[in-house]
Amino acid sequence: MSNIKIELTQTPRQKPDLNSQLPFGKYFTDHMFIMDYTDGKGWYNPRIVPYAPLSLSPATVCLHYAQESFEGLKAYKTKDNKLQLFRINENFSRLNKSNKRICIPELDSELCIDAVKKLVEIDKDWMPTAVGTSLYIRPFIIATDELIGVQPSKNYIFMIILSPVGSYYPNGIEPIKIYVEEKYSRTAPGGTGATKVGGNYASSLLAQKEAAEKGCIQVLWLDGAEHKYIDEVGAMNVFFLIGDTIITPELNDAILPGITRKSAIELIRSFGVKVEERKLTIEEVAKAAENGELKEMFGTGTAAAVSPVGKLFYKNREIIINDNKIGNLTKRLYDELTGIQNGDLPDKFNWIFPIEGN
């Protein structure tokens, strides 16, 4: 087990009702994984210990200059009570790409995968059992130098925590309303949009707040240079069915290379549907809607898997997509993707990582 030391808790945390509709990211399990880094020594002392607060100096560099990165994935329970992970290798590959962008030392992906498997195995009693539920996994790294100075830290902590979460769609999958943001930018060319770092999300909060005031659930982000090309929707990648072709923005340094996005593209192509990854303007989408060519729209991400969009609010007008109903392709994609994740469908793509011994 990659020399991971294990200290089990003597005072288990009180569990919520795991059969209830659990909120996202509110409850945390009994244990966490920690590993330290010091310049010249490398990553060392991997261990699983009881979940507890951290003790940090007020001058800790990550609190001031946001040198931190993170990932998000889920563990799923199958109908025969087996635990499994979905494309976890892709998560740690992406985490290392984020780390490189903000000068955090690279992690050993195999060690990280082992740590997740062991941590989930230890805290498997926290896994909810209702349909659509899962155990959310949050790996993250923070810079820990005690320094008020803008420079890469020489010390870091890598951690993994777990959180039982309810179904994203407790009442059934329903389309959402999206506000097209033309003022604020999520990121910009040359920025950190293609990485999972906290600053990307903090900068999105004001636009999301203003969108909510207009009755919209999320924001459709346009490019930071011209506010012309579509980037992402909220914290998800975005897809459009225009005519008989699925179109999604091509990856660049402003768009996160989503693992669910990658999986969706592979699945849709396996359906025999054409997929284009290219630049796409908001005006092209609006024109397609006017011409009756915009058939479906959806976002993809870890939390929701697939999220249908039924309405776009753009330039003070509302664009209705597929009569504000989930489209056939969107529904098929959701069913097949989640079916593979929870073990109801065969893993024909070799995406599943079983957790042994559970």
pLDDT tens digits along 78-87? 999 999 999 9
Burial label, 254 (beta-carbon count in 10 A; 0-12, 13-18, 19+): buried
Residue holding tokens 């697939």?
Answer: 306
Measured between alpha carbons, how far is 10 from 299 in angstroms, rounded to an integer?
42
pLDDT tens digits along 130-147? 888 999 999 999 999 999
Q: Is the pLDDT of residue 327 over 90?
A: yes
pTM score = 0.96
Q: Is the pLDDT of residue 301 over 90?
A: yes
Per-residue confidence (pLDDT) for residue 1, from 0 to 100: 45
Domain covering 5-165, topology:
D-amino Acid Aminotransferase; Chain A, domain 1 (3.30.470)
pLDDT tens digits along 226-278? 999 999 999 999 999 999 999 999 999 999 999 999 999 999 999 999 999 99
Per-residue confidence (pLDDT) for residue 358, from 0 to 100: 62
Closest residue by Cα to residue 162 from 95, 221, 236, 83: 83
Q: What is the mean pLDDT of the chain?
A: 96
Q: Is the pLDDT of residue 347 over 60?
A: yes
> What's the CATH architecture for 176-341?
Alpha-Beta Barrel (3.20)
Count CA within 13 A, CB hemisphere, residue 34: 14
Query: What Å distances lie between residue 287 and 132, 188, 273, CA to CA?
Result: 36, 25, 22
Query: Amino acid identity of 292?
Result: G
pLDDT tens digits along 208-234? 999 999 999 999 999 999 999 999 999
Residue holding tokens 């975005």?
Answer: 238
State which H helix or E strand residue 265 sits in.
helix 259-270
Q: Is the pLDDT of residue 63 over 80?
A: yes
pLDDT tens digits along 157-216? 999 999 999 988 777 789 999 999 999 999 999 999 999 999 999 999 999 999 999 999
Q: Where are the domains of the chain?
A: 5-165, 176-341
Q: Residue 310: helix, strand or coil by DSSP?
A: strand
Which pair of structure tokens corresponds to residue 146? 């005690």
